[in-house]
């Protein structure tokens, strides 16, 4: 096929010249004839034509590959979720458990909580931007003096249900639609006590009616977390810092900043 193209190229060029002469006149064609001189030289030399054709095919192949790669990257970027900590999304509050509730022993219990609220802030609000299988893990450090690692835990979604209602894996994963907000339980505190506790599904499983899961006890005043959030097509890390202000007082969020992934 290549040699057939090379053999017919001079005829094609002469045919094009004849068409131009018929359409715009011999004089005009003559003034632009030198622009085809190099092309005619290439067409009349099989070796040179072969080199030019090979180079052209190579350049086209590389360009096409790069173009497809750019298109794939752009498509992935558009379809990927963009999970952020919501504005004022690191906050504290108070919950008083009321009926109905899966654990009757919790009815009437009041406690302080500390949560992070995440938003899927996708630029293009399309179905493909849904954050799928979002999973979060928190590692706690006491920073009162010398930084001390305390423990790590899988995080609990505040609206994800309770242990026993769903399989454990389903409690850990969540899909977040574009523009939707989802909260993570991180810390709880009984106001009348000194210490606070890291909070996840284990707090509900171990002692019914009492969320003070002893391995999650956080002794101290100032704490930092490493919060890692993972989803399909997404990796994000944050550093929340908070203070336990002691007996009779609440939890106080200090900051929650994004760190490099």
pLDDT score recorded for residue 105: 82
pLDDT at 67 over 70: no
Query: What does the pLDDT read at residue 90?
Result: 97
Task: Give the residue, 134 or 50, on which the prediction is more confident.
Answer: 134
For residue 215, the SS3 value is: helix
**Has residue 24 got a pLDDT over 80?**
no
Supply the DSSP string of 231-252, one letter for each residue.
Answer: ETTEEEEEEEEEEE--TTS-EE
Q: What is the spatial distance between Cα 217 and Cα 223, in angstroms, rounded to a whole number?
A: 12
Q: Which residue intervals of the chain bear CATH 2.60.40.10?
A: 83-259
- Mean pLDDT to the nearest integer, 67-82: 57
Q: pLDDT for 228-257, tens place per residue?
A: 999 999 999 999 999 999 999 999 999 999
pLDDT of 224 over the 80 cut: yes
| C-alpha to C-alpha distance for 137 and 184, rounded to whole angstroms | 10
Q: Is the pLDDT of residue 102 over 80?
A: no
Q: How far apart are CA 196 and CA 114, in angstroms?
A: 10
Global pTM reads 0.68
Chain-centroid distance, C-alpha 57? 38
The yes/no answer on whether domain 83-259 falls in CATH 3.30.56.10 is no
Computed over every residue of the chain, the mean pLDDT equals 79
Cis ω for the linkage preceding 100 (within 30 of 0): yes
Task: Tell me how far apart the alpha carbons of residues 177 and 194 are, in angstroms, rounded to a whole number.
Answer: 39
């Amino acid at each position: 096929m290549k040699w057939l193209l090379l053999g017919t190229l001079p005829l094609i060029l002469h045919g094009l010249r004849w068409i131009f002469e018929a359409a715009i006149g011999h004089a005009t064609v003559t003034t632009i004839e030198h622009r085809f001189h190099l092309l005619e030289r290439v067409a009349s030399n099989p070796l040179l034509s072969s080199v030019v054709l090979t180079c052209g095919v190579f350049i086209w192949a590389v360009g096409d590959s790069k173009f497809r790669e750019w298109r794939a990257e752009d498509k992935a970027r558009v379809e990927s979720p963009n999970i952020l900590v919501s504005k004022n999304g690191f906050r504290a509050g108070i919950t008083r458990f009321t009926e109905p509730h899966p654990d009757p022993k919790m009815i009437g219990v009041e406690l302080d909580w500390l949560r992070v609220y995440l938003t899927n802030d996708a630029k293009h609000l399309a179905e493909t931007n849904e954050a799928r299988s979002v999973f979060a893990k928190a590692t706690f450090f006491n920073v009162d003096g010398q930084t001390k690692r305390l423990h790590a835990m899988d995080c609990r979604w505040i609206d994800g249900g309770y242990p026993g209602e769903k399989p454990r894996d389903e409690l850990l994963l969540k899909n977040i639609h574009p523009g939707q907000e989802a909260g993570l339980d991180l810390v709880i505190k009984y106001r009348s006590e000194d210490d606070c506790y890291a909070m996840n599904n284990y707090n509900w499983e171990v002692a019914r009616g009492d969320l003070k899961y002893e391995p999650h006890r956080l002794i101290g005043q100032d704490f930092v977390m490493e919060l890692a959030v993972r989803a399909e097509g997404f990796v994000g890390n944050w550093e929340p810092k908070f203070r336990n202000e002691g007996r009779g007082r609440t939890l106080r969020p200090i900051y929650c900043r994004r760190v490099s992934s």
